[in-house]
Amino acid sequence: MTEAPTWTAAARALADKVTANAPGWHEAVSNTPRHKLVPRWWQRIPNSPAQQWELVNPPEDSAELLHAAYADETLVTRVGPTHADHAAPGEHGKGDPTSSSTLPGLIVSMAHRLDVQPGQRVLDVGTGSGYSAALFARRFGDDKVTSVDVDPYLVEAARKRLAAFGRTPRLEAIDATGDLPESEYDRIMATVSVRPVPPTWLRALRPGGRVVTTIAHTALLITADMGTDGIARGTVQPDPATFMEARREADYPGKLDDVFVTARVREGEDVRPPEGAIPDLWQEWPLRWLFELDTPGVETRAATYPDDGRRVVWLLAADGSWARAEDGTSPLLHQGGPRRLWDDLERVRRTWEEHNRFSLHSMRAELSPQGSYLLSPDDSWRFSI
């Protein structure tokens, strides 16, 4: 009797965990060798300056590799412009993640929401390691799956690794926010975040088709179904999902460090007490995401003064606008540049309170090539996405 490969028990245990609410995906997860797709990865160095990462390169088929690959965790495969495949032993990566193998539970949850039916054509946006393409191809057939990524190396590596265990979906290296490889799809799932929702996706989505995607710089997961009128209608889902933004270059644009130099301690052009309490935008995430929807592209930073425990929040924009809010016994707000960013944040908070602080997953989505929007439950507050 032939002994089963050592990875199959680990894959089956992962499937038992992540497909409890999506049993149709159990067979695909159980039979997809994720460790073949992610043989090495980056791991953040705790308390390191400037977001440094160390390479994890375990021996092939080792217990360490199998434990990591079949845990329900994201494995970061690319940091800045450097893929883990290209890093030398002992090399450190630096910067933000630019590609990863998303935690399997989230992939399964999104794929379950996508509700693919036999015979339908699937577009998988964001090939990454190739894991989601592998699951779709295993369950619905290689010829029904197209997967795209902006990075030619990711696509080629995924193609070779998928083929090594018999999976041959169509893979293309393209900017997925532009023209697509084919003109019609029944289902589109993106494991990169976007804003705007690309018109090419909506033109390629057949009537009755479904798109599942997230909005850039938020964790808002949208599911929408295409109508016969060319508008996909849906809702924000109750479970958030965070993905890297779709990129067009090898790395993302740099942080707004030059604006931060100004904002860090400089006296503002407009100085006043803030309106209400200074929010913790990392805990009050609905407010943070509404602010992002309303005033996109604002970088947020925060710190706590070690001497007295005062908290400070900065808002930074590429046009040189900035705000600094400090709490304490006498909270104070400084603003500078062409826009008043904190005024915008306070306006968003007031409007949300006037709308009874509605749950974000009660928002509706209307997506079309001519323009896409999220709408408040009463339709009176609209955000272009």
Beta bridge partners of 304: 311
Q: Which of 99, 147, 193, 368 is catalytic?
A: 99
Return the structure tokens found at 85. Answer: 């495949």
How far is 193 from 243, CA to CA, in rounded Å? 5
How far is 281 from 288, CA to CA, in rounded Å? 5
138, containing H or E segment: helix 131-140
Placement of tokens 């007031």 in the chain: 350
At residue 383, the 3 state secondary structure works out as: strand
Beta bridge partners of 236: 222
Return the structure tokens found at 84. Answer: 């883990």
At residue 127, the 3 state secondary structure works out as: coil
203, containing H or E segment: helix 199-204
Determine the number of helices (DSSP H) and then strands (DSSP E) in the chain.
11, 21
At residue 213, the 3 state secondary structure works out as: strand
Q: Cα 234 from chain centroid?
A: 19
Q: Is 99 known to be catalytic?
A: yes
Beta bridge partners of 232: 226, 367
Compute and round to an integer the Cα radius of gyration of the chain. 22
Return the structure tokens found at 251. Answer: 């790395």
Report yes or no: 279 and 287 within 8 Å, Cβ to Cβ: yes
| 171 Cβ contact partners less than 8 Å away, ≥ 6 residues apart | 127, 130, 133, 146, 147, 148, 149, 155, 158, 159, 162
Residues belonging to the active site: 99
